[in-house]
Amino acid sequence: MTTREHCAGLDAVDPLADFRARFALPDNVIYLDGNSLGALPKAAAERARNVIGEEWGAGLIRSWNDADWMALPFKTGDKIARLIGAGAGEVVASDSTSVNLFKLLSAAFALRPERRVLLTDSDNFPTDNYIAEGVGEFLGPRVERRVVAADEILAAIDSDTAVVSLTQVNYRSGLIHDMARISAAATAAGALSLWDLSHSAGAIAVDLNGAGADLAVGCGYKYLNGGPGAPAFMFVAERHQQAIRQPVSGWMGHAAPFEFAGAFRPAPGIGRMLSGTPQVVALSLLDSSLDILVEAGMGALRAKSLALTELFISLIEQKCSGQGLELLSPKDPALRGSQVSYGYANGYGAVQALIARGVIGDFRQPNIMRFGFAPLYVRYIDIWDAVQALCAVLEGAEWKSFPLREGVVT
Ligand SMILES: *Cc1c(COP(=O)(O)O)cnc(C)c1O
């Protein structure tokens, strides 16, 4: 049987333990929702004060030059690149994941004009499906959406496939797609691969270039800790950057935005993926947050993340078995992202009861209790305490006090 002392011992030798103090975490909260909204780094709060008070307030328009605001999409992009196995100049940060997906899916069809099929899996994240639908309507009958089960993707790739568009880590179960195999199969068939890294970036070790991936998007406010509504990112492999064109061809994607030329001429390189003015305040926060992840390194982060999820699953088996929890995440750590999900009939109420006890996870329809483990600030003793709380909630039927309400952000 594992004990709390054993968990405290793991914290004592945790090479990432000191990173927790860099976050402004509230007292008496165990935060297991960094997969949905990452916690606040103290450096990001400090940077926010500076960018608002000094750069904007005092510098005014001079800060476009003095504070190099225009470079932010590229500077943050290069930091993200180091976390996802991309090279410098292959990633930019801007807009939202949804908008970036629209741009890259549209661009993928322009790169493969003779092909019709957008291949995805039936358990993809809703916005990915909605955007795929939107791209289909936008481009008309030349796009056919083909949706298959996650384990049928490889078999479904063929000579009609223009782009295979998948979320690498499933948002519900945490199951990891085999990026290297699927990207290689797409390449072999002449298709492109497009990966949504929203639940991967900062959570698992991603190697886009090692896998031969073509395109990717991802979210800035989850494991990257960029803050609510933080800019998302786009990756375009260097070999595609000469040819790629995207439909939101605004002035920030122009080769020379301040020439105010009459016609659009795409910037050389990844800059052509941009559209409008950079979100300076939000990008500045993201920029500070990324420094922490780059310093910690994805190898150490993944190792701790796996130890945390493994401990959580094993403690639940030891302490809450027989309470009707169904593990929905892979038992095999190699296939598991940085989250653990359980199916539970009264999952919504149980998650609310846990939050009332200071243990913050989240709920996903229809019955999923989801717990995310951000290795920069979650401790091993937090896992112990969270499992104690969960067992108490289930044994005491505390979920009864929290009936499901419509229209709330869960
Ligand atoms: C969180 C998430 C998004 C977020 O999209 P936004 O447009 O940034 O709101 C997109 N895709 C996946 C897979 C996600 O997990």
Question: Does residue 207 have an active-site annotation?
Answer: no
- φ, ψ of residue 49 in degrees (nearest 5): -60, -40
Record the tokens describing residue 333, joined without a space: 């750590």
CB of 223 sitting under 6 A from ligand 1: no
Query: Nearest to residue 275, comparing CAs of 107, 151, 46, 44?
Result: 107
Given this model, what pLDDT does residue 251 score? 97
Tell me the pTM. 0.97
Q: ∠116-118-121 over CA atoms, to 5°? A: 150
CB of 273 sitting under 6 A from ligand 1: no
Dist. CA 256 → ligand 1 center (Å): 31
Dist. CA 258 → ligand 1 center (Å): 32
Q: Answer whether 73's CB lies under 8 Å from 284's CB.
A: no
CB of 98 sitting under 6 A from ligand 1: yes
Q: Which residues does 70 contact at the CB level (< 8 Å), separation at least 6?
A: 64, 278
Q: How far apart are CA 82 and CA 71, in angstroms?
A: 17
Residue nearest to atom 10 of ligand 1 (CA): 97
User: Regarding the domain delimited by 47-296, which CATH topology (the fold level of the hierarchy) does it fall under?
Assistant: Aspartate Aminotransferase; domain 2 (3.40.640)
Q: How far apart are CA 290 and CA 287, in angstroms?
A: 5
Cα atoms in the Cβ-side hemisphere of radius 13 Å centred on 302: 17
Of the listed 31, 102, 125, 235, which one is catalytic? 125
Q: How far apart are CA 155 and CA 170, in angstroms?
A: 19
CB of 165 sitting under 6 A from ligand 1: no
CB of 171 sitting under 6 A from ligand 1: yes
Dist. CA 302 → ligand 1 center (Å): 21
CB of 221 sitting under 6 A from ligand 1: no
Which string of b and e fits 374-387 if b means at least 16 CB within 10 Å? bbbbbbbbbbbbbb
CATH assignment of 4-31+298-401, among 3.50.50.60, 3.30.420.40, 3.90.1150.10, 1.10.1240.10:
3.90.1150.10
Dist. CA 132 → ligand 1 center (Å): 13
Residue that is written with structure tokens 């960094």 in the block: 34
Q: Which residues does 53 contact at the CB level (< 8 Å), separation at least 6?
A: none
Domain ranges of the chain: 4-31+298-401, 47-296
Provide the 3-class DSSP secondary structure of residue 144. Answer: strand
Given this model, what pLDDT does residue 403 score? 87
Q: How far apart are CA 29 and CA 305, in angstroms?
A: 19
Closest ligand 1 atom, CA of 219?
8
Provide the 3-class DSSP secondary structure of residue 239. Answer: helix
Q: Would you write out the chain's pLDDT as a tens digit for each of its 410 residues?
A: 789 999 999 999 999 999 999 999 999 999 999 999 999 999 999 999 999 999 999 999 999 999 999 999 999 999 999 999 999 999 999 999 999 999 999 999 999 999 999 999 999 999 999 999 999 999 999 999 999 999 999 999 999 999 999 999 999 999 999 999 999 999 999 999 999 999 999 999 999 999 999 999 999 999 999 999 999 999 999 999 999 999 999 999 999 999 999 999 999 999 999 999 999 999 999 999 999 999 999 999 999 999 999 999 999 999 998 999 999 999 999 999 999 999 999 999 999 999 999 999 999 989 999 999 999 999 999 999 999 999 999 999 999 999 877 666 65
Residue type, position 374, single letter:
A
Q: How far apart are CA 70 and CA 68, in angstroms?
A: 5
